[in-house]
């Protein structure tokens, strides 16, 4: 616990979808601490942390059970689209990745890898250029936003039938949670929403919880999950082979380009908060 910075400790984290918590006793993990999850016969859930006597605080949001090892000052962030009745709620399972949870978030923000990692799906050659976009740290809500993002995609979504210039808006709500709003093939006035909630297990290992809020009444749930898992498993191969495994925070440790504007803002935001868990600055 002593090696965990307060900014990382005082956050809400998802540990499982409510539907996937079995009755009885199961184990989980968060920030290097083993958890015991107990679901009673009446459905009541209790989470205990190793070395702590009292149960951890719990919240239920977006179909997930969230907990914390610290004392968050803010409630779990709001996602307005989650309350829209015509959207499909699609949780896509949990994927364990042998990499820093912060690396996962940064990869999510990166459009430049689309043609090379998600070839003929989210990108393709020769359409490799990342057009200039806007990035800001919104001080009123303490979030990182990237707007006016555009990228040509051969198949931007499962429901897309042709390639199109896809528009994106990226939003980072907490150090370990992010989402994107993207062009919806089925509506010219609304966005599809894809969220990524990361559960840091250890500094160099995490579980990623992708969930989508879509305007798609044709695709099957199984095919939607399969499509999103394909994208994420392609990312996992790259993420687990990145070196260093932890997110580098020293100046000039990696050479940024114009396409890395969101990454630069994200790392600056993390430094301002004093986040070190999962970074090269973490205390031994």
| DSSP assignment string, the chain | -TTS-HHHHTS-EEEEEGGG--SEEEEEEETTEEEEEEE-TTS-EEEEETT-SSPPPEEEETTEEEE-SS--SSPPPP-GGGG-TTSEEEE---EEESS-HHHHHHHHH--TTHHHHSBTTTBBTTB------EEEEETTTTEEEEEEEEEEES-SSTT--S-EEEEEEEEEEETTEEEEEEEETTEEEEEEEEEEEEEEEETTEEEEEEEEEE--SSS-HHHHHHHHHHHHHHHHHHHTT-SSSSBP-STTSS---GGGHHHHHHHHHHHHHT--TTBTT---
- In whole angstroms, give the CA distance from residue 76 to residue 174: 9
Residues in the chain: 284
Q: How far apart are CA 192 and CA 214, in angstroms?
A: 5
Closest CA to 12 of 171, 175, 181: 175
Chain-centre distance of CA 174, in angstroms?
Answer: 10
pTM for the whole structure: 0.88
Each residue's pLDDT tens digit, 210-234: 999 999 888 888 988 888 888 777 8
Q: How far apart are CA 113 and CA 103, in angstroms?
A: 14
213 or 251, higher pLDDT: 213
- In whole angstroms, give the CA distance from residue 209 to residue 249: 25
Of the candidate ranges 1-5, 179-183, 205-209, the one whose mean pLDDT is the lowest:
1-5
Please tell me the number of Cα atoms within 13 Å of 147 on its side-chain side. Answer: 6
Q: Return the percentage of the chain with pLDDT > 90, whole number.
A: 60
The answer to whether the beta carbons of residues 25 and 36 sit under 8 Å apart is yes
pLDDT at 249 over 60: yes
Write out pLDDT tens, residues 84-130: 999 999 999 999 999 999 999 998 888 665 554 545 455 455 555 66
Give 190-199 pLDDT, tens digit per residue.
Answer: 999 999 999 9
Lowest mean pLDDT among 28-37, 206-215, 250-259: 250-259
Q: What is the pLDDT of residue 283?
A: 46
- Closest by alpha carbon to 169, among 258, 213, 109, 84? 109
Burial class (CB in 10 A: 0-12, 13-18, 19+), 179: buried
- Most confident segment among 2-11, 82-91, 255-264: 82-91
Q: Which residues pair with 96 in a beta bridge?
A: 207
Count CA within 13 A, CB hemisphere, residue 230: 14
């Amino acid at each position: 616990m002593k090696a965990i910075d307060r900014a990382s400790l005082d956050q809400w984290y998802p540990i499982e979808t409510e539907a996937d918590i079995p009755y009885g006793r199961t184990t989980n993990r968060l920030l290097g601490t083993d958890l015991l999850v107990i679901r009673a016969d009446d459905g009541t859930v209790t989470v205990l942390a190793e070395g702590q006597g009292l149960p951890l605080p719990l919240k239920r949001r977006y179909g997930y059970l969230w907990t914390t090892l610290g004392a968050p000052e803010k409630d779990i962030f709001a996602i307005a689209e989650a309350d829209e009745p015509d959207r499909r709620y699609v949780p896509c399972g949990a994927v364990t990745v042998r990499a820093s949870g912060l690396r996962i978030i940064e990869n999510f923000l990166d459009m430049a890898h689309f043609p090379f990692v998600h070839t003929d799906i989210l990108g393709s050659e020769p359409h490799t250029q990342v057009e200039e976009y806007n990035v800001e740290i919104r001080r009123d809500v303490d979030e990182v936003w990237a707007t006016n993002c555009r990228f040509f995609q051969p198949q931007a979504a499962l429901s897309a039938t042709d390639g199109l210039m896809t528009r994106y808006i990226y939003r980072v709500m907490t150090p370990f949670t992010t989402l994107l709003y993207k062009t919806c093939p089925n509506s010219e006035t609304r966005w599809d929403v894809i969220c990524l909630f990361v559960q840091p297990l250890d500094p160099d290992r995490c579980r990623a919880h992708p969930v989508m809020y879509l305007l798609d009444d044709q695709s099957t749930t199984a095919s939607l999950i399969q499509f999103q898992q394909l994208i994420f498993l392609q990312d996992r191969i790259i993420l687990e082979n990145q070196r260093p495994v932890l997110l580098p925070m020293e100046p000039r440790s990696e050479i940024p380009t114009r396409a890395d504007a969101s990454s630069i803002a994200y790392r600056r935001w993390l430094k301002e908060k004093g986040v070190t868990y999962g970074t090269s600055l973490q205390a031994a």
